[in-house]
Amino acid sequence: MASTSKTKFSSHAIAGILILALSGAAIYLLPYLKWTYYDALLQAFNLDNTQLGVLMGIFGALSMIFYAPGGWMADRFSARKLLTISLAGTGVLGAWFATFPGFGAQVVIYAGWGVLTTLTFWAAMVKAGGGLGPSEQQGRLFVSLEGGRGILSTVIAFATLAIFTNLGQGVEGLRMTIIAMVVIDFVAAVFTWFFLKDPKFESTEE
């Protein structure tokens, strides 16, 4: 019976997996819009291929730079607060993005997304996921988290693509698609703030 209880996820762990899976799916929707809406982005924002490449390059460079400092942040600050800030911040930038600002503003937005998805999010999500269960469950926890993230990413992608298609696949369709993604970010932020508990790890000494 004892070994069986160790293999089952607690209700707290299941809720945490669902919240983190939603958060992990939601936060990357806006920065990676180009993978599904490339031509629509060029049209709506009056960009050429080089400019969109610059924007994604800025996002990618900052994402890479801030991975390591993100681990330092996660060790010193509340994972729940870091995740909420990341999701809400991504949503705020997305709301600005939905107004179709100029190229300079887009540089700021993509740079902000690069920081928020790594410095304050990724390591905090990993830490929160690891705190959902004992050491014996770590492998299954992360498999469940990544599996849930993949499923939710697919579901959300189909739902937002339906919005874009039904609204004519033009500028207004893209605007409403972006707004839908912004709403998902804010919903994930609310669930994270109110229902995700900060992980607690037992301290050990050698």
Q: List the pLDDT tens digit at each of the 206 positions of the chain.
A: 444 455 688 888 899 999 999 999 999 999 999 999 999 999 999 999 999 999 999 999 999 999 999 999 999 999 999 999 999 999 999 999 999 999 999 999 999 999 999 999 999 999 999 888 888 888 888 899 999 999 999 999 999 999 999 988 889 999 999 999 999 999 999 999 999 988 775 544 44
* Structure token digits, residue 87: 């999701």
Contact assessment for residue 165 and residue 113, using Cβ atoms and an 8 Å cutoff: no
Full-model pTM: 0.90
Spatial contact of 191 and 19, defined as CB atoms under 8 Å apart: yes
3-state helix, strand, coil in the chain (%, to 5): 80, 0, 20
Residue count of the chain: 206
Tell me the C-alpha distance between 42 and 34, whole Å.
9
